[in-house]
Amino acid sequence: GAVVSQHPSWVICKSGTSVKIECRSLDFQATTMFWYRQFPKQSLMLMATSNEGSKATYEQGVEKDKFLINHASLTLSTLTVTSAHPEDSSFYICSARDSAGISSYNEQFFGPGTRLTVL
């Protein structure tokens, strides 16, 4: 099946710094990628929809100036958490939609997640 990778798998940073998380579709092109956040013992919460070559669409309540999303190519989307604070500590997961629709059973493939800890 299609593979989505994320880098880094975990990161620890100081409060006030910015952190960039990459999401890559390894063997397919993804016009659309999605970013989720998951706090401990909670479900995944959709943060934003990332469209290649255009601005991301953010879910209600998600600060677009804090969570910068760039989708510059069909295989890469990045999420930058700006001026991170301890409350931003979470598990960030991306998913990618197979643009070519090669998959006959599933349009989205999820990455392994990135654990962010802000001290």
Contact set with other proteins (CB under 8 A): 1, 4, 6, 32, 34, 36, 43-46, 49, 91, 93, 95, 97, 101, 105-113, 115
Q: How far is the CB of 24 from other proteins (least distance, A)?
A: 13
Q: How far is the CB of 83 from other proteins (least distance, A)?
A: 26
Whats the size of the chain, residue-wise?
Answer: 119
**Looking at beta carbons only, is 45 or 82 nearer to other proteins?**
45
**Looking at beta carbons only, is 82 or 99 nearer to other proteins?**
99
Of 37, 47, 36, 44, the closest CA to residue 95 belongs to 36
Contacts of 83 (CB under 8 A, 6+ apart): 16, 17, 18, 66
Give φ, ψ of 87 to 5 degrees.
-70, -10
**Looking at beta carbons only, is 50 or 75 nearer to other proteins?**
50
